[in-house]
A and B are shown apart, each in its own frame.
Chain A
Amino acid sequence: MMSSNTNDRRRWGVIEALVLCIILFFFGLLIEYFAGPPDLSFWSYPLNLIVGIAFLYVNITVYYFGKNKRWVQWLSGMPMSLTVILWILYLSLLVGLIPQSNVVNTNLTASENLLVRFGFTHIVSSWFFLLDMALFLFVLGLVILRRLTMAFSWRNMAFILNHVGLWVALAGGILGAADRMELRMLLPLNGNVVKEAAEVNSNTRLSLPFGLELKNFILEEYPPKLALINSDGKYLPLGKPDIVSVDGIGRVGLLGDWSLDVIKYLEEGVSGGTSEFRQADMRGGATALYIVATNRKKNLRYEGWVSAGNFMITPTFLPLADENRYIVMLEREPKRFASELIVHKADGSISEAIVDVNSPFSIDGYDIYQSSYDREKGRWSAYSGLMITADPVLTIVYVGLYMMLAGAILLFVFGPKKRIL
């Protein structure tokens, strides 16, 4: 017979923890189905800050007034921690396995529609994800508070850095998502000053506190490359194609038994519809090479122009007629693309800036990135594709990330605690 003595009651463990996760999960599914996904704009500042502070307050109060209660000890204990980690792992797996999209699609089957209605196609912005992450953060908060009551040691420091860092980064990232902006701007090379950009998901136009003008679009390419193809258009040798990179005039290399010499190198050439190239005298030229291909073994020699062409010029290749082979120029790969911008600020001041891939430019709390360009036109792109972001909580999230970095280093230095089992 079960004793009614409190000390004999089984402590809550993993099962109860799992039940809690599942309850919140189903609650989230219900809300999603009947009320749709959470409205990000509703949660923007100052609501997210208030919610964050209130959450922290509840977290701390629950711990300090409840730390001797059974359910608080359970929430801040290992079985609960293990379960929430497992549950977030499960949700992340769903994100990885189910195709995610923020785009609203009306051409769906009944089962696809069901997935959308419950939030499975936009998991990280769904109610069930939000609720389960809130639980994760609450549990993590209690775990941290429990450890804070212990004496200082380097091991405890590592624990604090890792756990607090994760908490700060996650809470900041989740709450701050409502205020994050990601905008696209196609800046034309026509002297216009553009002061608006389009939000990436909704396409709504937003005006900016500054204007941008494209002074120049820069595209640097890697040297042109030559390759050998057969009459089916397959690169040779099959499976492991030979490629010759052309740095200038002269002997440039071998394609199979063919040694190649570059006689003329035009960075910008035009052909006027023929297979002969001459120096371009205006925009729109394509790289063209006049090459001589010699086969010593078979005593054959071919010469002619080769070009990958571009949006205006058809590609030109050199047929090795007796062999049913052709020498082609591959499309030149971009080495660097960047934009020279003129920035018109709201106060009337004008300044210049360069934006490169991997080298954004900041102004007034916005970050401007070189994102894309007209790939078809290449160096003659008439516009520059920029991405403009704003993330007010970035500093907070970075504090969390750097704490985790320090924590990771200490984790490596200390390793696991040695225990006698």
Chain B
Amino acid sequence: MTWDAFIYFAFASLFCWMGAVGCAYMPNLRRWTVPLMSLGLAIFAVFLIGFWVVLERPPLRTMGETRLWYSFFLSVVGLITYLKWRYRWILLYSTVLSGVFIFINLLKPEIHSKSLMPALQSPWFAPHVIVYMFAYALLGCSFLIALYVLYSVYKKNKDPQPLLSVTDNMVYAGFAFMTIGMLFGALWAKEAWGHYWSWDPKETWAAVTWLAYLLYIHLRWYAPRYVKETCILLIVSFLFLQMCWYGVNYLPAAQQSIHRYSMS
């Protein structure tokens, strides 16, 4: 299972997911939605596991590898959201966003060498990154919903509160996982680098992202009717998330970061 096989698995998964979206919108085919989504996930999971085995290390080191997990978890979150609230458009949105990251991976594949550097050889590595990628997927979906809410409130005049209670659920779950990921990172940092928090650029932007979603949680408590402001906050928070995930690699202020090994 080398990287060259990815394109086949990716297209197979995307095909299943797109099929699932189509079925969700057609009453007589609706019962195939969940099986097709699940099949797409299973195919993708087979690739992930096979790739992990061949690499002899968790495929979590390079940007491209984290994107794999993001595509996977986005579809997981989309499916769970559909199962819980039956919003069909979330399947469309999560499939599209998942597809975007798959295409980025196909167009910009990185050299996936087998070697894992000593700093990353730790039992914290996989849990820290996987928990974060799952959080990112949840928060990514809440970003998609925020866009949808802005559209539906201003174009169709719909009541946004039911949707905002979906984003509440997603952000609470996403924030919880993000906090756990951050704490895992701090505990690992002490074992590897001697200090649990050194305001390294990656850590700083992780704090910025964390505070932004914390602000959302508190804003929703204080001013639940501030719909536009809430949606904009979700969008800005997601931008901070992107900055933390890979933006730091390009930031001039961050060139000395010890997290930069993910670039090589």
Interface of chain B residues 185 through 200 with chain A (CB within 8 A): 186-187, 190-197, 199
9-residue interface stretch from A81-89, A188-196, A341-349:
A81-89
Contact between B222 and A82, CB atoms less than 8 A apart: yes
Asked whether A328 is an interface residue with its Cβ less than 8 Å from the other chain, the reply is: no
Interface of chain B residues 207 through 264 with chain A (CB within 8 A): 207-208, 211-212, 214-215, 217-222, 224-225, 243, 251-254
Interface of chain A residues 235 through 249 with chain B (CB within 8 A): 240-241, 243, 245
Asked whether B106 is an interface residue with its Cβ less than 8 Å from the other chain, the reply is: no
Q: Which residue of A lies closest to B174 (CB)?
A: A412
Contacts of A97 in B (CB 8 A): 251, 253
Tell me the bound Cα distance from A413 to B224 in angstroms.
22
What does the 1/0 interface line of B107-145 toward A look like (CB < 8 Å)?
001010111011101100000000000000000000000
What does the 1/0 interface line of B169-185 toward A look like (CB < 8 Å)?
10011011101100100
Q: How many inter-chain contacts with C-beta < 8 Å in the A-B complex?
A: 132
Contacts of B221 in A (CB 8 A): 78
Contact between B199 and A124, CB atoms less than 8 A apart: yes
If A334-B118, A358-B118, A421-B161 touch, does A412 touch B176 (CB 8 Å cutoff)?
yes
Contacts of B220 in A (CB 8 A): 416
Contacts of A61 in B (CB 8 A): none
Q: Which residue of B lies closest to A158 (CB)?
A: B176
Contacts of A206 in B (CB 8 A): none
Contact between B172 and A415, CB atoms less than 8 A apart: yes
Asked whether B44 is an interface residue with its Cβ less than 8 Å from the other chain, the reply is: no
Asked whether B73 is an interface residue with its Cβ less than 8 Å from the other chain, the reply is: no
Q: Which residue of B lies closest to A96 (CB)?
A: B204
Tell me the bound Cα distance from A222 to B118 in angstroms.
11
Partner of A89, one of B109, B201, B208: B208
Partner of B224, one of A93, A404, A419: A419
Contact between A92 and B173, CB atoms less than 8 A apart: no
Interface residues on B, range: 35 or more
Tell me the bound Cα distance from A405 to B169 in angstroms.
19
If A85-B215, A408-B183 touch, does A98 touch B253 (CB 8 Å cutoff)?
yes
Distance in Å from the Cβ of B261 to the closest Cβ of chain A? Answer: 12
Contact between B222 and A79, CB atoms less than 8 A apart: yes
If A89-B215, A182-B195, A415-B172 touch, does A336 touch B222 (CB 8 Å cutoff)?
no
Tell me the bound Cα distance from A419 to B243 in angstroms.
33
Contact between B196 and A401, CB atoms less than 8 A apart: yes
Interface of chain A residues 365 through 421 with chain B (CB within 8 A): 367, 369, 371, 387, 389, 391, 394, 397, 401, 404-405, 407-409, 411-412, 415-416, 418-419, 421
Q: Which A residues have a C-beta under 8 Å from some C-beta of B?
A: 78-79, 81-82, 85-86, 88-89, 92-93, 95-100, 124, 173, 180, 182, 222, 240-241, 243, 245, 333-337, 356-360, 367, 369, 371, 387, 389, 391, 394, 397, 401, 404-405, 407-409, 411-412, 415-416, 418-419, 421
Give the 3 A-B CB pairs with smallest separation, nearest first.
Answer: A412-B176, A408-B179, A357-B118
Could you name 24 residue pairs across A and B whose Cβ atoms are closer than 8 Å?
Answer: A82-B218, A89-B211, A92-B207, A92-B208, A96-B204, A96-B208, A180-B195, A222-B114, A222-B115, A245-B114, A335-B115, A358-B192, A360-B194, A369-B192, A369-B193, A387-B193, A401-B196, A404-B183, A408-B177, A409-B176, A412-B172, A412-B177, A415-B173, A416-B168
Known: A96-B208, A359-B191. 10 other contacts (CB 8 A): A78-B221, A82-B222, A85-B211, A89-B208, A96-B243, A367-B194, A405-B180, A405-B183, A416-B165, A419-B224
